[in-house]
């Protein structure tokens, strides 16, 4: 495994540990005060992250797709050049079929 | 022709069943180099194409000269990665262009690559279809989507900082290309991506120029389910390796 895979794994493990700590804070760290809204969002946090990443992926692929550049003029000029090339190549004794 | 400056550009042109495309791409290459007064050679690496591409290559050599058209045929279809290695072994230029022979990559961009390379003394200059001034012609929605998803996955997993990872129209300093090929293990479509990733790892500098890409006019492109599966496998292997 390379360095990148290791650091991704590390981040994932750290995130999971932090989430477990948050979920079980009343048992694991009862002396630390945790605001109530964190208790409310904690259970859905992993799902939320997953959905957010999915939405980001779809949005960026979709945007890239919509803005995909076309170049019809490059095609037209290529066709012209192909003809020019064929004529000259025949003159030079290259077989064109 | 009196070449300007002391540089020589070797073009590696791998061919497999490019009988129709090879003469025209060669003609356009010769024109681009001569118009810009550059010293060059075109190395054709044909893998025993059944359509007789090699025979046409020999005619091209007779027409343009053995110093300009160099033939490095191989006995069988051994794949693209090794074709580059085979071609570079005999390259006499100090700079090397890699491009496809199917006319998707147009030689008219060669001066842009060279200008860019000189601007930043870049080790590698890569053509990008996805920058302002670039573009693709002749792809349907499915092909565009495939390309975008492929690029998105590669970008996310590899973060190479290059906008067109799967493109393969590039200019290299020759020793840089040799070092990069030695470090690259993948095959197929992933080969070109890994080259960029290794370039970053080895701290080579990379410049980008916009290019237009016209899907092949003659012959069939080979993108199918097998290539897509191969790409995904290769991408994951590479992501685990870096
Ligand atoms: N020598 C050699 N050239 C190949 C081989 N496979 C593909 N090519 C050439 O590599 C270039 C890119 O191939 P192409 O089929 O256009 O790939 P695509 O554009 O990704 O669909 C073309 O010039 C082909 O003729 C091979 O096995 N050996
Ligand atoms: Mg092609």
Q: What is the pLDDT of residues A36-55, one digit of tens each?
A: 998 999 999 999 999 999 99
Residue B223 CB partners (closer than 8 Å, separation 6+): B143, B146
Mutate to test the interface with A, among B101, B214, B239 (most CBs of A within 10 A): B214
* Fold category of B8-241 in CATH: Spore Coat Polysaccharide Biosynthesis Protein SpsA; Chain A (3.90.550)
Ligand 2 centroid vs B173 CA: distance in angstroms?
24
What is the model's pLDDT at position B219? 86
The residue of chain A nearest to residue B147, with distances taken between CA atoms, is A65
How many angstroms separate the CA atoms of B113 and B185, rounded? 26
What's the half-sphere exposure (Cβ side, CA atoms, 13 Å) at B97? 31
- Cβ of A68 and B136 within 8 Å? yes
A74 touches chain B (CB under 8 A): yes
| Of B12, B15, B54, best ligand 1 pocket probe by most atoms within 8 Å of the beta carbon | B15
A16, part of any domain:
yes
pLDDT band for position B217 (cuts 50, 70, 90) = very high
What is the model's pLDDT at position B4? 52
pLDDT band for position A4 (cuts 50, 70, 90) = confident
Region B135-158: mean pLDDT is 93
The residue of chain A nearest to residue B216, with distances taken between CA atoms, is A75
pLDDT > 70: what percent of chain B? 98
| Residue B223: pLDDT over 80 | no
> What is the pTM (predicted TM-score) of this model?
0.90
A97, part of any domain:
no
Region B137-148: mean pLDDT is 93
A91 touches chain B (CB under 8 A): no
Mutate to test the interface with B, among A2, A3, A4, A12 (most CBs of B within 10 A): A4
- Cβ of B24 and A69 within 8 Å? no
What is the model's pLDDT at position B107? 98
B117 against A96, higher pLDDT = B117
What is the model's pLDDT at position B5? 59
Q: Which of A15-24, B13-22, B197-206, B217-226 has the lowest mean pLDDT?
A: B217-226
pLDDT band for position B174 (cuts 50, 70, 90) = very high
What is the model's pLDDT at position A81? 97
The ipTM of this complex is: 0.88
What is the model's pLDDT at position B227? 86
pLDDT band for position B234 (cuts 50, 70, 90) = very high
Region B13-34: mean pLDDT is 97
pLDDT band for position B2 (cuts 50, 70, 90) = very low
Structure tokens at A58: 């779809």
A10, part of any domain:
yes
DSSP chain A: --HHHHHHHHHHHHHHHHHHHHHTHHHH-TTS---HHHHHHGGGHHHHHHHHHHHHHHHHHHHHHHTPPB-HHHHHHHHHHHHHHHHHHHHTT----
| Residue B6: pLDDT over 90 | no
Nearest Cα to A42, choosing from A15, A7, A12? A15
Region A3-26: mean pLDDT is 92
pLDDT band for position B153 (cuts 50, 70, 90) = very high
pLDDT > 90: what percent of chain B? 77
Longest dimension (CA), chain A: 91
Region B120-131: mean pLDDT is 95
Nearest Cα to B146, choosing from B208, B227, B213? B227
Residues of A in contact with B213 (CB under 8 A): 71
Which residues pair with residue B128 across a beta bridge?
A: B210
Range of the domain at A73: 3-91
Considering only residues 176 to 195 of chain B, which have any Cβ-Cβ distance to chain A shorter than 8 Å? none
Residues of B in contact with A58 (CB under 8 A): none
A95 touches chain B (CB under 8 A): yes
pLDDT > 70: what percent of chain A? 100
Residue B102 Cβ contacting ligand 1 at under 6 Å: yes
What number does the ligand 1 atom closest to the CA of B101 have? 23
- Cβ of A1 and B136 within 8 Å? no
A55 touches chain B (CB under 8 A): no
- Cα angle B214, B171, B45 (rounded to 5 degrees) comes to 75
A46, part of any domain:
yes
Q: Which of A83-87, B63-67, B186-190 has the lowest mean pLDDT?
A: B186-190
A96, part of any domain:
no
The pLDDT tens digits of the residues spanning B103-125 come to 999 999 999 999 999 999 999 99
Residue B25 Cβ contacting ligand 1 at under 6 Å: no
| Nearest by CB: B60 against A65, A74, A94 | A94
């Amino acid at each position: 495994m390379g360095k990148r895979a290791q650091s991704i794994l590390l981040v994932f493990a750290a995130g999971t540990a932090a989430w477990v700590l948050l979920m079980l804070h009343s048992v694991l760290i009862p002396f630390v005060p945790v605001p109530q809204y964190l208790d409310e969002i904690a259970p859905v946090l992993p799902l939320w992250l997953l959905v957010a990443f999915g939405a980001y992926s779809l949005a960026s692929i979709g945007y890239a797709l919509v803005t995909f550049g076309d170049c019809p003029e490059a095609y037209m000029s290529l066709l012209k050049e192909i003809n020019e090339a064929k004529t000259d190549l025949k003159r030079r004794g290259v077989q064109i079929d | 022709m009196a070449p300007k400056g002391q540089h020589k550009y070797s073009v590696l042109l791998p061919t497999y069943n490019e009988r129709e495309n090879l003469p025209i791409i060669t003609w356009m290459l010769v024109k681009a180099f001569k118009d810009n007064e550059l010293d060059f050679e075109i190395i054709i690496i044909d893998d025993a194409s059944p359509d007789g591409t090699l025979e046409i290559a020999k005619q091209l050599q007779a027409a343009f000269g053995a110093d300009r058209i160099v033939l490095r045929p191989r006995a069988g279809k051994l794949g693209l990665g090794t074709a580059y290695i085979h071609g570079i072994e005999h390259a006499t230029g100090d700079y090397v262009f890699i491009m496809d022979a199917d006319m998707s990559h147009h030689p008219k961009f060669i001066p842009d690559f060279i200008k860019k390379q000189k601007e930043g003394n870049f080790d590698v200059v890569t053509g990008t279809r996805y920058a302002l001034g670039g573009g693709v012609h002749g792809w349907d929605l499915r092909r565009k989507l495939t390309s975008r998803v492929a690029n998105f996955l590669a970008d996310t997993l590899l973060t190479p900082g290059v906008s067109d990872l799967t493109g393969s129209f590039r200019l290299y300093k020759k020793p840089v290309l040799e070092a990069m090929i030695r470090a690259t293990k993948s095959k197929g479509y992933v080969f070109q991506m890994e080259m960029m990733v290794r370039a970053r790892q080895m701290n080579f500098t990379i410049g980008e120029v916009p290019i237009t890409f016209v899907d092949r006019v003659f012959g069939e492109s080979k993108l199918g389910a097998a290539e897509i599966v191969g790409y995904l496998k290769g991408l994951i292997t590479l992501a685990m390796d870096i």
